[in-house]
Amino acid sequence: MNQESLFLLFDLVGTFAFAMSGAFKAIRKNLDLLGILILGFATAMGGGIIRDALLHRTPVSFTTNLYALFSLLGCLAAAAWHYVAKGRRLLDEDRAFLLLDALGLAVFAVIGASAGAAAGLKPWSVVVLAALTGAGGGAVRDLLVLEIPMVLHADFYASAALLGGLSFVLLSGAGIQPSFVSAAAFLTTLLLRIAAIFLGWSLPKLR
Amino acid sequence: MNQESLFLLFDLVGTFAFAMSGAFKAIRKNLDLLGILILGFATAMGGGIIRDALLHRTPVSFTTNLYALFSLLGCLAAAAWHYVAKGRRLLDEDRAFLLLDALGLAVFAVIGASAGAAAGLKPWSVVVLAALTGAGGGAVRDLLVLEIPMVLHADFYASAALLGGLSFVLLSGAGIQPSFVSAAAFLTTLLLRIAAIFLGWSLPKLR
Amino acid sequence: MNQESLFLLFDLVGTFAFAMSGAFKAIRKNLDLLGILILGFATAMGGGIIRDALLHRTPVSFTTNLYALFSLLGCLAAAAWHYVAKGRRLLDEDRAFLLLDALGLAVFAVIGASAGAAAGLKPWSVVVLAALTGAGGGAVRDLLVLEIPMVLHADFYASAALLGGLSFVLLSGAGIQPSFVSAAAFLTTLLLRIAAIFLGWSLPKLR
């Protein structure tokens, strides 16, 4: 399995996990069936759609069926879990689930950074685009049900994508080979996010 | 009167009704004069603007004066009604008003589906664009005054536009003539929405 | 100092002041360090990013480093002030600070109107784009922390930018020389906003 197909696999795993996290939130907020689908799809595709709107490209998720399919599967899986577990256990706070989500965050960050670099953006905005692609969907999910986006006040999530984007920019700037740059940015994001999950990292606040 | 001018008429009627619904909400939320105009215009134009941003086109409503004029008239009509009825009767919960709104939903859905098909999107995203064009303005209206968008938890509204979009995609795929496809998608959306109004339809929730 | 470099200076002062206002709000809402940066940058760049998305241009703030630098400085200044004043005095309600902010509003309004006119939009949407560029960042700031955007219900802020945009459109239409049109639209917005600050203007509501 080469790097490209591995990244596509992670991309779809991430889409699936993001859609699940959106659908879970929709179920808990007592939204209807359409609301569950909208929140699932918006979480899975929101980051990429915002990125593509900023880069004035037609959303990638609208020009292929693959992301829609895995978003739908994520929504169905969340509904199935809801019936099985009946709220006794919140899967999206489970570490196993968070690892799937972390795969998505890492691969989305790399895709965002690559798109920004290809569009000729400045280094700092390549970094922003990595974080926006990775964490934008979750922010849309939170805002749609009137919660202050998690990335603004808790956890170490978008920060992992930012640092992944930073490593992308630094290694690209150093003239490293693209496939290695992507792999390094992916691993930076993934490992930082995994560390955050297991060590309970969060950013300081001003007091 | 040919189909094209009939659709333009419905488009303007819908713009007017959407603007009224935005202005009514603004008045009830005690926004100021500018807030009433913003909410009216955002409700009338929001769905189309989001659609055009996703398709990287300049918003149609910004390149002609017609939509602005009918949005303004909708805001004025809402203010006039507010003074006449003094809150004794909420026009935007009146069935006569909801029928005007349904005309808007149906024609906006067809316009959204056509734009998506013309941009070469996949069938599922043509359907999404129909619903987004029809129901996006109302979602923007709700979010601006911090309400969870109605389409996420109640009524049968975006669903009518989704099914209208679906009929558009299916009939287009079957090689039916474009003007008939548009008419069928329009009627599908309109009749489903009217049924929803009179029969009190809403989508189920997971429990 | 010619007009162009004067406008760039005001543009950067405005970026700085807008970022400060976003960072202050983030600190008060107890967001974390990333949340402070996001709110600061979103307030400073949000209006321009929305404008550029509507005009399907890559955001100006993403293709130069200058705006990012002054946004960062604004966030740092807000944090420094927070430590110095310890909440005893709210700088962003101080008239001196509001004057800096007014400079930003005025120059952003002119930039937005110019961009709309260059894109061939209709006069009314050139006016809208002036207000959106000037006041959009503040609306994004408020929505991200779940407050109804200030521009919808209080103060005389976006209205100053609207009237500045209107003067831009009227003077352009009268065939006046571009640099004079920009100066006049800038001064219209600035003086109206300053009057609003000192005279406590706000728009009426329907009652």
| Contact of B70 with B16, CB cutoff 8 Å | yes
Its ipTM equals 0.94
Q: Could you identify the residue written with the tokens 């049900």? A: A145
Phi and psi for A205 in degrees, rounded to 5?
-115, 160
CA atoms in the 13 A half-sphere facing the CB of B135:
27
Predicted confidence at residue B44, as pLDDT, reads: 97
Span B146-165, pLDDT tens digits: 999 999 999 999 999 999 99
Return the structure tokens found at A179. 């496939």
The answer on pLDDT for C187 being more than 70 is yes
Name every chain C residue with its beta carbon within 8 A of the beta carbon of B54.
none
pLDDT band of residue B88 (cuts 50, 70, 90) is: confident
Predicted confidence at residue A2, as pLDDT, reads: 85
The answer on pLDDT for C87 being more than 70 is no
The SS3 of residue A2 is coil
Q: Summarize the confidence of residues B108-128 as an average pLDDT.
A: 95
Task: Point out the residue among B31, B53, B62 whose CB comes nearest to the CB of C152.
Answer: B31
| Residue A100 resides in a domain | yes
| Residue A70 resides in a domain | yes
Q: Summarize the confidence of residues B54-82 as an average pLDDT.
A: 94
Residue A169 makes CB contacts below 8 A (sequence gap 6+) with A113, A117, A123, A126, A127
Return the structure tokens found at C7. 């406008």
What is the 3 state secondary structure string of B89-134?
Answer: CCHHHCHHHHHHHHHHHHHHHHHHHHHHHHCCCCHHHHHHHHHHHH
Predicted confidence at residue C105, as pLDDT, reads: 96
Predicted confidence at residue C88, as pLDDT, reads: 72
- B50 lies in which domain range? 3-199
CA-based nearest residue to C67, from C86, C85, C45: C45
Percent of chain B with pLDDT over 90: 86
The answer on pLDDT for B24 being more than 70 is yes
| Residue A206 resides in a domain | no
Span C22-76, pLDDT tens digits: 999 999 999 999 999 999 999 999 999 999 999 989 999 998 999 999 999 999 9
* pLDDT lower than 50: segments of chain A: none
CA atoms in the 13 A half-sphere facing the CB of B155:
16
Q: Summarize the confidence of residues C100-128 as an average pLDDT.
A: 95
Measured between CA atoms, the residue of chain A closest to residue B158 is: A34
Name every chain C residue with its beta carbon within 8 A of the beta carbon of B68.
122, 124-125
Residue B204 class from Cβ within 10 Å (0-12 exposed, 13-18 middle, 19+ buried)?
exposed
Predicted confidence at residue A101, as pLDDT, reads: 93
| Residue A207 resides in a domain | no
Q: CA–CA distance from C156 to each of B34, B36, B206, C131, C163 (Å)?
A: 9, 14, 45, 12, 11
Name every chain A residue with its beta carbon within 8 A of the beta carbon of B124.
65, 68
What is the number of structural domains in chain C?
1
Name every chain A residue with its beta carbon within 8 A of the beta carbon of C52.
54
Q: CA–CA distance from A57 to each of A48, A54, A172 (Å)?
A: 10, 8, 23
| Residue C204 resides in a domain | no
Residue C148 makes CB contacts below 8 A (sequence gap 6+) with B29, B31, B144, B145, B146, C142
Q: Summarize the confidence of residues B126-139 as an average pLDDT.
A: 97
| Residue C205 resides in a domain | no
- Under an 8 A CB cutoff, do A56 and C57 touch? yes
pLDDT band of residue B87 (cuts 50, 70, 90) is: low
A140 in contact with C at a CB cutoff of 8 Å? no
Torsion (CA) C31, C35, C39, C45 in degrees, nearest 10 = 180
- Under an 8 A CB cutoff, do B148 and A143 touch? no
CB neighbours of residue A207 within 10 Å: 8
Q: How far is A171 from chain B (nearest CA, A)?
A: 32
| Contact of A164 with A113, CB cutoff 8 Å | yes
Q: Mutating which of A20, A28, A29, A31 best tests the B interface, going by the most B Cβ atoms within 10 A?
A: A31
pLDDT band of residue B175 (cuts 50, 70, 90) is: very high
The answer on pLDDT for C95 being more than 80 is yes
Q: Please name the amino acid found at residue B175.
A: G
The SS3 of residue A32 is strand
| Residue B10 resides in a domain | yes
Task: Point out the residue among C27, C57, C59 whose CB comes nearest to the CB of A206.
Answer: C27
| Residue C18 resides in a domain | yes
